[in-house]
Amino acid sequence: MGKTLLEKVWDLHTVRELPSGQTQLFMGLHLVHEVTSPQAFQMLRERDLSVRYPERTFATADHIIPTDSRRRPYADAMAEEMFVHIERNSVDFGLEFFDESTGRQGIVHVIGPELGLTQPGMTIACGDSHTSTHGAFGAVAIGIGTSQIRDVLASGCLAIDPLKVRRIDVSGSLGRGVYAKDVILHIIGHLGVHGGVGYAYEYGGDVFDAFSMEERMTVCNMSIEGGARVGYVNPDQTTYDYIRGREFAPKGAAFDRAVEWWETMKSDADADYDSLVEIDGADIEPMVTWGINPGQVAGVGEKLPDPDSLEGAQRASVEEALAFMKLQPGAAIAETPIDVAFIGSCTNSRISDLREAAKVAAGGRVAKNVKALVVPGSQQVLKQAEAEGLHETFLAAGFEWRQAGCSMCLAMNPDKLVGDQICASSSNRNFKGRQGSPTGRTLLMSPAMVAAAALAGEVVDVRTVSRPTA
Amino acid sequence: MTTDMRVIEITGTAIPLRGNDIDTDRVIPARYLRAVTFDGLGEHVFEDDRKAMGGAHPFDNPRYAGASVLVVNNNFGSGSSREHAPQALLRWGIEAVVGKSFAEIFFGNCYTLGIVCAVVSSDDAAEIQNAVEADPAIEFTVDVDGCVLRSGSRQWPLSIPEAVRDGLVSGTWDAIGELVGNPAEVRRVHDSLPYVRGFGAD
């Protein structure tokens, strides 16, 4: 019987079984950001511990930093204080810190891949649940809490329970106007927001074979929204072509040997899965969430559920969601008016996302009364977008063009919804209060759909407005 | 360090919190992550839900003040990995969470803090919530070692993964001691990794 990539990576990185029965797993890459790490560094100081593998640990600032003015000190005193902490902790503990002066700052899950730090066969930890993003490269990437950040800093290791593997096969091809974001929203709608608890999701099939790395990242990113802490795609030529030439990628002959090794880490053809799910790509529509978790999602042409047709806990969940969202049972999600449009986040802020959104925005005008912003995922994405003139397209259409960061995905900085504003968002969570206002409402969708909604002032099917794309 | 870390049983009153898929953004909104310590998080737990319910939220109900056992339903603690969520619950006074199911990262974060997350059936979760609502003064004992929840003559079976139960009962749930205790062994694994070795580059 063959092995899955998860099993191979797990075996390779296992130090031992702990007395508790958990695995002591070595982490090949540790990414650190300013918001979940300060307490972890403080714990190291209190215990007089150092960072064991500083050369495998990299820091950036993304969550709290402003995306408008970057003049220091930041206008937001708390942002300034948290930034100073990550800056000082990086110096004190000997970590490389990608701040703005390096030109490599950005959302931690955008910069890991773009710098070539993220590679197949690795274990990767980061104090952020969207660490699953890095699984797009065939890495086992695990989101952790602050005490576990302390553990990884101090020891290079994580204490963790083994995971089962569910293979999710998406066959055929996607229709026009259907994106990676729609694929993962469809999967979460199908398997539920806790369907993945205890599993790593292995994505594959024709649709993933054809996907770019950025599309694979979008899907893996939201694995956690389906309850799966880890999501991955087996590496292939697309993966290797993406990595080649990047700053931290192996060079020359070493790269060829790396590819040879990466090939051996793929799941074997006769690997045994704990669960198998098959989805036909042709069944996937452009998706929009209508509720307060990412599993409350429908095709843009579908109608909202009617609680009267449901029972028990399901009925209560739908009632709660529709009441919070101020949406009518049985209504269409299309034509729902919006107040804000947000293109950004570790799910959808990469160059291909901005290109798709710009195609829709080109020549149009953001609807009156809609505030629209585009927040590139990293300084490098920003630079590339500006080189292509995408910022001019967005600005001409009435979008704001911001500096790189997490921004309105979790609204820790001044980018927030106000009151019960409703936001078409390319981010990953539609939880109550997620975008900074306790009564603010979020409709998750692809960046192209967000751009279309920004122009129309309401939710629209991007297939009816966009130029033919993919 | 002579502190007794063992979590063998927890006795106290309970607080019911109904609803599925209660995410960690709701447990502690992101604006409370704007700090370099976990201090003071307890008073802000469920802040937005509490405000929205105008005082009717269980965490505002004086009948549940001082509770140490939180009784929830399905997929509690989904979403963000923020340890601020269990830290806030702990600082409010919660030492054990009993419910139908837990999100994985939340479960792991609780474990690293010595907070018990124990699974009961849907029916039992509802029954316990009903019992607490009927009489908030009743005392519960979460017997971690015996995997049972007791209150007076009633009891409900608890499911706790064996490794987690052992870690709690033996007081070894804080893994840091184990993880830093074998640096040579860790170094051997590190040194064996092809990507650490640079794939044969000089």
DSSP string, A156-202: SEEEE---EEEEEEEES-PPTT--HHHHHHHHHHHH-TTTTTTEEEE
Same domain, A412 and A442: yes
Confidence of residue B201 (pLDDT cuts 50, 70, 90): low
What is the rounded distance in angstroms from the CA atom of residue A21 to the CA atom of residue A180?
Answer: 37
For residues A204 and A91, membership in a common domain is answered with no
- pLDDT tens digit sequence for B70-107: 999 999 999 999 999 999 999 999 999 999 999 999 99
CATH code, domain carrying A279:
3.40.1060.10
Contact yes or no for A431 and B37 at CB 8 A:
no
Per-residue pLDDT reduced to its tens digit, B111-140? 999 999 999 999 999 999 999 999 999 999
Q: What is the ipTM of this complex?
A: 0.95
Q: Residue B92: give its domain's CATH number.
A: 3.20.19.10
CA atoms within 13 A on the CB side of A209: 8
What pLDDT shows up at residue A1? 85
A149 is written with which tokens? 């950040």
Domain boundary (A144, A160, A176) is at: A160
Neighbours of A91 (CB within 10 A): 10
**Alpha-carbon gap: A196 to the closest alpha carbon of chain B (Å):** 9
Write the residue in A15, A20, A143 that is nearest to B105 by C-beta. A143
Identify whether residues A35 and A93 lie together within a single domain: yes
Cβ-defined contact of B194 to A121 (cutoff 8 Å): yes
- Answer yes or no: is B127 within a domain: yes
Residue B121 lies in domain: 9-173
CB atoms within 10 A of CB A221: 27
Residues A319 and A430 in one domain: yes
Q: Cβ separation of A144 and B193 shorter than 8 Å?
A: no
Q: Which residues on chain A are in Cβ contact (under 8 Å) with B178?
A: 18-20, 24, 159
> Chain A contact for B196, CB < 8 A?
yes
Contact A198 B82 (CB under 8 A): no
Identify whether B122 is part of a domain. Answer: yes
**Closest-CA residue in chain B for A35?**
B33
* Residue B57 domain flag: yes
For position A466, what pLDDT does the model report? 55
CATH number of the domain that residue A350 is part of: 3.30.499.10
State yes or no: pLDDT of B192 exceeds 90: yes
Provide the 10 A C-beta neighbour count for residue B14: 26
> Are residues A414 and A355 located together in one domain of the fold?
yes
Using the Cβ of B62 and the Cβ atoms of chain A, whether some distance falls under 8 Å is answered with no
Residue B79: CA atoms inside 13 Å, Cβ hemisphere, count?
Answer: 31
Of A26, A39, A197, the CB nearest to B189: A26
Nearest residue in chain B measured CA to CA from A292: B21
Q: Which of B83, B115, B159, B172 to mutate to test the interface with A (most CBs of A within 10 A)?
A: B83
Q: What is the pLDDT along chain A (470 residues), one digit of tens a residue?
A: 899 999 999 999 999 999 888 999 999 999 999 999 999 999 999 999 999 999 999 999 999 999 999 999 999 999 999 999 999 999 999 999 999 999 999 999 999 999 999 999 999 999 999 999 999 999 999 999 999 999 999 999 999 999 999 999 999 999 999 999 999 999 999 999 999 999 999 999 999 999 999 999 999 999 999 999 999 999 999 999 999 999 999 999 999 999 999 999 999 999 999 999 999 999 999 999 999 999 999 999 999 999 999 998 889 999 999 999 999 999 999 999 999 999 999 999 999 999 999 999 999 999 999 999 999 999 999 999 999 999 999 999 999 999 999 999 999 999 999 999 999 999 999 999 999 999 999 999 999 999 999 999 999 999 998 554 44
Query: Which residues lie closer than 8 Å to A403 by C-beta, 6 or more apart?
Result: A66, A67, A68, A70, A375, A376, A379, A382
Two tokens, residue A460: 């629209």
Binary contact (A412, B31; C-beta < 8 A) = yes
In a domain, B28, yes or no: yes
**Contact B34/A64, CB-based, under 8 Å?**
yes
- What is the reported pLDDT for A247? 98
Quickly state the pLDDT bin for B3 (edges 50, 70, 90): confident
A410 lies in the same domain as A423: yes
Angle at B103 between CA A18 and CA A280, to 5 degrees: 110
Specify whether A132 is located in the same domain as A193. no
Which residues of chain A are within 8 Å of residue B100 when distances are taken between CB atoms?
Answer: none
Q: Nearest Cβ partner of A15 from B25, B36, B185? A: B185
pLDDT at residue A468, rounded to an integer: 43
Looking at the fold, whether A316 and A403 belong to one and the same domain comes out as yes
Which residues of chain A have a CB within 8 Å of the CB of B163?
A: 20-22, 161
Q: How far is B10 from chain A (nearest CA, A)?
A: 20
pLDDT digits (tens, 9 = 90+) for B149-188: 999 999 999 999 999 999 999 998 999 999 999 999 999 9
Whether residue B185 lies within 8 A of chain A, CB to CB, comes out as: yes
Query: How big is the A-B interface in CB pairs under 8 Å?
Result: 224
- State how far the Cα of A39 lies from the Cα of A109, in Å rounded to an integer: 21
Per-residue model confidence (pLDDT) at position A317: 94
Q: How many domains does chain A have?
A: 3
Q: Which residues of A touch B75 (CB under 8 A)?
A: 193-194, 197, 227
Nearest to B195 by CA among A255, A350, A433: A255
Q: What residue of B is the nearest CA neighbor of A257?
A: B199
Q: Which of A137, A160, A183 is the last residue of a domain?
A: A160
Number of structural domains, chain B? 1
Which residues does residue A284 pair with via DSSP β-bridges, in sequence order? none
Task: Measure B70 CA to nearest chain A CA, in Å.
Answer: 19
DSSP label of A433:
T
Mutation for A interface: B28, B49, B84, B105, most A CBs within 10 A: B105
Q: Nearest by CB to A150, which of B173, B176, B186?
A: B176
Among candidate residues A160, A184, A211, the one where a domain is terminated: A160
Interface with B, mutate which of A124, A134, A194, A311 (most B CBs under 10 A)? A194
Domain extent at residue A12? 5-160
Amino acid letter at A339? D
Taking alpha carbons only, the member of A341, A289, A266 closest to residue A7 is: A266
